[in-house]
Amino acid sequence: MDERVLEKYIPMESLTGEPAAEAETGRKLYVETYGCQMNFADTEIVNGIMGKNGYDITENIDDSAIILINTCSIREMAEARVLQRLTEIKKYKKKNPKLVVGIIGCMAERLKRDLITKKGVVDLVLGPDEYRKLPSLIDNLIDTGEKGIAVKLSRVETYDDILPIRKEGISAWLSIMRGCDKFCSFCVVPYTRGRERSRPLEGVVNEIVKLEQEGFRDVTLLGQNVNSYRSESHDFSDLLASCAIAAPGLRIRFTTSHPQDLSLKLIETIAKHDNLCKYIHLPVQSGSDRVLELMKRSYTVEHYMSIMQSIKSILPDVSLSTDIISGFCTETEEDHKMTLDIMREVKYDGAYMFKYSPREKTKAWQMEDDVDEETKTRRLMEIVELQRDISEEKNRQTVGREYEVIIEGISKKSDKMLFGRTDGNKTVIIPVNGAKPGDRVMVKVTKANSATLFGEAIPVN
Ligand code: 5AD
Ligand code: SF4
């Protein structure tokens, strides 16, 4: 999952079409989100909980009575960024001593009370399974001045009954499960998000139908490892098939998968339904069996490649992406070259690439972080450069071909251009032609670089 900085929310009024009746000054909430898509989906849940309790969601930090920061712990950098942001937020608190500042999400779960004792500016700390307590902890803080902390992880919480408040748009996230039981040795997620649990199939299907009715066109089902989704006797393939049938006007994708659990049934399900995107994100992390074993990834390169072969033979036009970590403990130059080799062999359309960052509590925390910073950076650069070349090569192969593109809006670089996405998750730029966000347009690709396809709409007869 990629790390995106900061998401802001439009006021509730413009989301619901009605004024938030109970809202009053002093009940304005501003949420800033860091980290993976799951966090962005969680912020929508938090907004849902708070909206229901009479809070008015604002995108203007200067206007807010409550600032929540939804945080990420996956790498040290992600935490450092939030700690830096907290020093900026101190200024707001100086101006308005009544301002409530809360840290929620993975950092809250990991650092717990320390956030309150070491960072004077923090009033509330809530872990990912405690968001229902937000309104009562805020009330208590306002009534008694008592700072609030809630960091219990749950085995059952899925927020299935909470209606997320989303920004209007074309794409939506839909969380189908929470937590992770994989315990990869480098990863802090099982400690910050707790045990794996799935939402009931009906809840997910009802929500996706609603998203279609609301005008969304592209929905990503989210979970730390969607392939271990379970609802009674239904597995993830069953869920996907149900969603595909229930919301035929939506493009449906999902992230993220673990190679150990990706079944043939899933690949065949994707092949069977036109509205299931032919796009699979399958993190490989490393191309060396020795390193994969130390990472506790529970598969070998051979097994991973056999899944890739099945995917490519059943879904010949599939787009593939992955996650790669450079410089994991004991990684040698030879291991690193094996990672470059697997990238060349698979030819991913895209990749999220990271330097290994030791995280407390994980198994790898006990190992020596023995690849020096310079080597980690150099290896990461080699990985990034190779991926850029491969993405460019793959994108160039699309030139001359036709794709259905769902238009998302006006291009950021020019108001004479529109941008949209293909089923394979590639961004496409075309000249403005009267198409509106949400429209499906057939596009012939005329040129491409490593990040973007450029093309022209094909007139419909
Ligand atoms: N250091 C670097 N990258 C990490 N990831 C998870 N934990 C770490 C870590 N400690 C990466 C993995 C994972 C993605 C979400 O983040 O590649 O798939
Ligand atoms: Fe972390 Fe591994 Fe779970 Fe992904 S599968 S969230 S990398 S522990």
CATH number at residue 255: 3.30.750.210
Backbone angles phi, psi at 397, to 5 degrees: -65, -15
Residues 273 and 289 reside in one and the same domain: no
The percent of residues above 90 in pLDDT, for the chain, comes to: 92
Phi and psi based region of residue 204 (left: phi greater than 0; alpha: psi -120 to 50; beta: remaining): alpha
Overall number of domains in the chain: 4
Measured from the CB, is residue 359 less than 6 Å from ligand 1? yes
Residues 144 and 14 reside in one and the same domain: yes
Residues 139 and 19 reside in one and the same domain: yes
pLDDT of res. 9: 32
Residues 176 and 269 reside in one and the same domain: yes
Residue 318 lies in a domain: yes
Q: Looking at the predicted structure, is the pLDDT value of residue 375 above 50?
A: yes
Residues 183 and 293 reside in one and the same domain: no
Residue 163 lies in a domain: no
Residue 228 lies in a domain: yes
Q: Identify the residue with better confidence: 459 or 44.
A: 44
Q: What is the CATH number of the domain that holds 443?
A: 2.40.50.140
For 213-223, what is the mean pLDDT?
97
Q: Identify the residue with better confidence: 193 or 118.
A: 193
pTM of the model: 0.93
Ligand (nearest to CA of 259): 2
Measured from the CB, is residue 190 less than 6 Å from ligand 2? yes
Residues 175 and 269 reside in one and the same domain: yes
Measured from the CB, is residue 75 less than 6 Å from ligand 1? yes
Q: What is the CATH number of the domain that holds 366?
A: 3.30.750.200
Measured from the CB, is residue 224 less than 6 Å from ligand 2? yes
Residue 48 lies in a domain: yes
At which of 231, 261, 277 does a domain end?
Answer: 277
Q: Looking at the predicted structure, is the pLDDT value of residue 389 above 70?
A: yes
Cβ proximity of 349 and 319 under 8 Å: yes
Residues 357 and 372 reside in one and the same domain: yes
Residue 208 lies in a domain: yes
User: How far is it, in rounded angstroms, from Cα 396 to Cα 403?
Assistant: 14
Residues 135 and 23 reside in one and the same domain: yes
Residues 228 and 287 reside in one and the same domain: no
Residue 461 pLDDT level (bands cut at 50, 70, 90)? low
Burial class (CB in 10 A: 0-12, 13-18, 19+), 232: exposed
Residues 43 and 146 reside in one and the same domain: yes
Residues 120 and 28 reside in one and the same domain: yes
pLDDT of res. 6: 30
Q: Point out the least confidently predicted range of 22-26, 286-290, 340-344.
A: 22-26
Q: Looking at the predicted structure, is the pLDDT value of residue 280 above 90?
A: yes
Report the residue among 187, 258, 285, 354 best suited for mutation to probe ligand 2: largest number of ligand atoms under 8 A from its CB: 187
Residues 145 and 16 reside in one and the same domain: yes
pLDDT of res. 4: 31
Quickly count: other Cβ atoms within 10 Å of residue 408's Cβ. Answer: 20
Alpha helices by DSSP H, listed for 315-425, are 333-346, 373-396
Mean pLDDT of the chain: 93
Measured from the CB, is residue 183 less than 6 Å from ligand 2? yes
At which of 277, 302, 318 does a domain end?
Answer: 277
For 368-386, what is the mean pLDDT?
98
Number of H helices and E strands in the chain, helices first, is 14, 22
Residue 24 lies in a domain: yes
Range of the domain at 391: 280-397
Residue 377 lies in a domain: yes
At which of 380, 397, 414 does a domain end?
Answer: 397
Q: What is the CATH number of the domain that holds 112?
A: 3.40.50.12160
Measured from the CB, is residue 182 less than 6 Å from ligand 2? yes
For 157-168, what is the mean pLDDT?
96
The percent of residues above 70 in pLDDT, for the chain, comes to: 94
Residue 3 lies in a domain: no
Q: Whose CA is nearest to atom 12 of ligand 1?
A: 323
Torsion angle, CA of 311/314/319/322, rounded to 10 degrees? -10
Q: Whose CA is nearest to atom 13 of ligand 1?
A: 323
Residue 119 pLDDT level (bands cut at 50, 70, 90)? confident
Measured from the CB, is residue 74 less than 6 Å from ligand 1? yes
Token output for 408: 């998302």
Beta bridge partners of 325: 354
pLDDT of res. 120: 85
